[in-house]
Structures are given as C-alpha cells and as structure tokens.
Structure 1
Amino acid sequence: MRWLLPFALMLTAPVAAQVAAPAEYADTQLPDPAREMAARGLMETLRCLVCQGQSIADSDAPMAGDMRALVRQRIAAGEEPAAVRDWLVERYGAYVTYDPPLGAATWPLWLAPLLLLGVGAWLARGSFRRKER
C-alpha cells in the first residue's frame, strides 16, 4: 500500500501540468470582417517564438495563441497593423517578424546573398575563361 500514494501522484502530474485556457481572442475571429482581415494579415507575417518555423496564425503553441489574442485585441481597439507590429517588435525583438529591418545586426543577412551571387559570378567567369584558352 505504500506504493499507492506515489503512484497516484504520478498519474495526477499530467493533469496539473495542463496549460491554462487560451486568451479570449486567440481562436475567435473579430466581429468586424475588415478588422479580422487586417489582424489575420498581420498574424501571417509574425513568427511564432516557440515553433520558429510557423507564423502565429498557423501555430498551435499557447504563446502563439496569446500573441494572436494581443493582435486581435489591439486591432479591435482601433490600432493600425503597423503600430501593432512595431509594438510586438519592440516587445519581442526583430526575430518576431519574417522580414527583419535593415540594421547593424541584420545587415549581413541582407548582404550575404548579394556577396554570394558576386562570388559565384566571379568563379563562373574564371571557369569560362579557362575553357576558352
């Protein structure tokens, strides 16, 4: 009988670890279709900080639900999507957006493809010159 209490506690642990109920607007559309479309468009451009590969519109993570609720609440209150996006970038950093702004930390991301293209063209030019000789 001594094993019964620890066994019962092990079985209740998953129940205690359940996530709290999602925020009000996490999975509920706004009543105004134009505002819902603006919110949805913004949510598709924001990265889920937990999933990393999905937008907050597509993610089932609780944090993405909280972010969807924040976006919908602010859009419903009359804020513009750009202002909501700026607020989220200020709060979570530039990583939250799929289109990071050009800055000191992100300039290598923007310049690397151009540099690689230039190096590839230079190598191809050298290869073609050797074949002609």
Structure 2
Amino acid sequence: MKILTLVLLLTLSVFAGAGVEYREFANAEQQQAYDDLISELRCLVCQNQTIADSNADLAKDLRRQVYEMLQQGKTKQDVADFMTQRYGDFVLYNPPFKAKTGVLWIGPVAFLAIGLIAVLVFVRRNKTPATVEISAEKRKKIHSLLEKGDKS
C-alpha cells in the first residue's frame, strides 16, 4: 500500500511545477520592470486579471513578449507603448485620460451623480403629503354621513 501511495504522489508531483514560469534576467532592474509591466497589463481574454495572474494562452504569449522586449534593451515605456499601440488603451489597467478614455473615467462618476439626484428627487416628491381640495358641498355631505352613520 505504501508503494502505491508513493507512486501516486510521484505521478501527481509532475504536475505541481507545470504552472511555474521561470525567467532569467541580467539585473534586478529588468526583473523589477518585468514584474511591474505584467502586473499593469490587462489580460485581453480574462479582462479582469493582469497577465501576471492569468493562465490564458494570450497572457502567456504577452508575458513572453514583454520578457523578450526587455531582453532586447527596451524600456518599460517602450513596452507599454507597443502594447497600447497594438491592443489599445484597454490593455492598461490604468488607462491615461484622453478623449477616447474619458467615458471610462467620467462615466462612473456621472452615473453615480445621476442616481443620487434621482433618489433625492424621489424622496422629496414623496415627502410632501398630497393635499386634496374638497368643496364645501362635499364637505357638508361627508359631515352629514358621519353624523347619521352608515345605516345600510
């Protein structure tokens, strides 16, 4: 039984290192630039993860491309410019404020303001009680009915 358990564990241990990518850098600055870039670039498949967090094939290709560009001597800005030129500003987790991305920055604030204004208008409208004008004739009729009571 021990041998069977050992064989099973050794078989499963092959898959333990399957998700680990190892990249070798010339210096610590390149390593830091690589780490910064892969945590600032959005995975275009997952869209809510960075390429550092994603296991999608495109994210793996982008990590490889970032590594190769840094090995060629490109700066962080060069790599970021290349990625935005190729994939658009959406690839950046913090896109710059431009006319194209203005909706991304202003949109949530505008929707929040519109929602707050709508709530305030609704609350104020329902806060004031509705007053109903009753004519003197109807008032007398109501008073007489209340005096006599309902005899039906």
Which TM-score band applies after superposition, normalised by the shorter structure?
0.5 to 0.7
Q: Are 1:97 and 2:92 counterparts? A: yes
TM-score of the pair, normalised by structure 1: 0.66
Per-residue CA deviation, residues 78-105 of structure 1 (Å, 9 max, x unaligned), is 3221221011110122221122233343
Q: Are 1:37 and 2:32 counterparts? A: yes
Match of 2:114 among 107, 116, 119: 119
> Which contiguous aligned blocks of 4+ residues in structure 1 show a shift greater than 6 angstroms?
none
Q: Are 1:63 and 2:53 counterparts? A: no
Q: Are 1:79 and 2:74 counterparts? A: yes
Identity of aligned residues (%): 36
Q: Is 1:39–1:72's contact at 8 Å kept on the other side of the alignment?
A: yes
Which consecutive unaligned segments of at least 5 residues does structure 1 have?
1-25
- Tell me how large the CA RMSD over aligned residues is: 2.3
Match of 2:42 in 1: 47
Higher relative contact order (CA 8 A, sep 6+): 1
Change (3 A) 1:27 1:48: farther
d(CA) in 1 for partners of 2:59, 2:41: 10
